[in-house]
Amino acid sequence: MNFKGQHILSTAQFDKEGLLEVFEEAKKMEKVLQDGGSNLLSGKILATLFFEPSTRTRFSFESAMNRLGGRVLSNADMAATSSLKKNESLEDTVKTVSQMADVIAIRHPESHSVEKTSKVSNVPVINAGDGSNQHPTQALLDVYTIWKEKGSIDGLTVGMIGDLKYGRVPHSQCDLLKHFDVKFVFVAPDALKMPNEIVEELRSAGKEVVEGENLSELIEEMDVIGMTRVQKERFESEEESLKYEGIYLLDAKIMDGAKKDAIIVHPLPRVDEISVELDSDPRAKYFDQVGNGVVVRMALLKKVLGY
Ligand code: NCD
């Protein structure tokens, strides 16, 4: 896959070869980190424009750029503090920043907004989450975690549990996992099911997809237990979102029914989906994922900037 100068907007852009290329590069980045980082991207600037809250994603992009010797222009609250307050358009904002940076990571609450801005940017734009649509770098690090932990992705049964309707992370994960021989098990209440077009796309790619609501029953066959948070900010009203509060809680009792070598992943933040008692379970990989996010973003920044 050609990465140089490309926008990274959706996981649909990745073929299997491109995905494995990023993973191999990320593995090399683990070594770069052990050796204290590098100066490969010295002189390059990453701008992070975030219009939605973030802890991991923004810091992870910035850590990745810093670890490779680059520099960062950062605004964690663009909505409140940029000229958008004076009614400047998002496109003009990005056009402006693209004159000052070599690559831009954007998070925005509206689906497809990042793609729109990429059309006016002189430099690569990386989608750091656009509404309920996509979160490609998170899915890359999730699948990297699976690849690293399980040795291979073929033959696995991957569970996705929680808000599969509004969750951009499970949407992006499906695009990547469909390149492998994977069985999907989706666990969600009826109103928060995985969008039909995604399920149909997986089935037409020959994948087996099981859908249900009962986590305790369906967990038995999962090799990967992918938990997600109810995306309360994307519901029509808070009252509506409260109906699903605490809908799935993964705890030690439920994990008794899971495979001994299963892994638990979660993009975080965790709210009430995973009991803290599981943090010391060797199957819990959700904090390891954070470290994997840094090396995956190092790999991607390197490739997009053409090194
Ligand atoms: C995810 C996101 O923002 O979509 N978080 C993240 O980037 N690590 C998941 C979430 O907020 O639930």
Indicate whether 51 and 128 sit together in one domain.
yes
First to last CA, the chain: 14
Q: Which of 11, 55, 135 is the best mutation target for the ligand 1 pocket, counting ligand atoms within 8 Å of the beta carbon and taking the most?
A: 135
- Does residue 21 lie within any of the structural domains? yes
Indicate whether 108 and 186 sit together in one domain.
no
pLDDT at position 269 is 98
* C-beta of 267 in contact with ligand 1 (< 6 A): yes
Provide the residue type at 261 as one letter: D
The residue whose two tokens read 């790619």 is 205
- Does residue 69 lie within any of the structural domains? yes
- Its pTM stands at 0.97
Summarised one tens digit per residue, pLDDT across range 193-214 is: 999 999 999 999 999 999 999 9
Indicate whether 178 and 261 sit together in one domain.
yes
What are the residues whose beta carbons fall under 8 Å from the beta carbon of 120, sequence distance 6 or more?
91, 92, 94, 95, 98
Indicate whether 47 and 188 sit together in one domain.
no
Indicate whether 251 and 280 sit together in one domain.
yes
Atom of ligand 1 nearest to the CA of 268: 8
**219 is in which domain, residue-wise?**
136-285
Indicate whether 140 and 126 sit together in one domain.
no
Indicate whether 190 and 201 sit together in one domain.
yes
Q: Which of 126, 127, 138, 241 is the best mutation target for the ligand 1 pocket, counting ligand atoms within 8 Å of the beta carbon and taking the most?
A: 138
The full DSSP string for 10-56 is -GGG--HHHHHHHHHHHHHHHHHHHTT---TTTT-EEEEEESS--SH
Indicate whether 232 and 269 sit together in one domain.
yes
How far is ligand 1, taken at its centre, from the CA of residue 5, in Å?
26
pLDDT at position 23 is 98
Indicate whether 162 and 209 sit together in one domain.
yes
Number of domains making up the chain:
2
Is the CB of residue 25 less than 8 Å from the CB of residue 303? yes
Indicate whether 280 and 159 sit together in one domain.
yes
How far is ligand 1, taken at its centre, from the CA of residue 218, in Å?
24
Taking alpha carbons only, the member of 165, 169, 216, 167 closest to residue 194 is 165
- Does residue 241 lie within any of the structural domains? yes
Indicate whether 179 and 278 sit together in one domain.
yes
Indicate whether 181 and 149 sit together in one domain.
yes
What is the DSSP-derived secondary structure letter of residue 191?
G
- Does residue 260 lie within any of the structural domains? yes
CATH of the domain at 243: 3.40.50.1370
Give mean pLDDT, residues 57-63: 98
pLDDT at position 249 is 97
Summarised one tens digit per residue, pLDDT across range 98-115 is: 999 999 999 999 999 999
- Does residue 126 lie within any of the structural domains? yes
Q: How many CB atoms lie within 10 A of CB 89?
A: 13
Q: CA angle, 138 as apex, 260 and 287 as ends, to 5°?
A: 45
* C-beta of 168 in contact with ligand 1 (< 6 A): yes
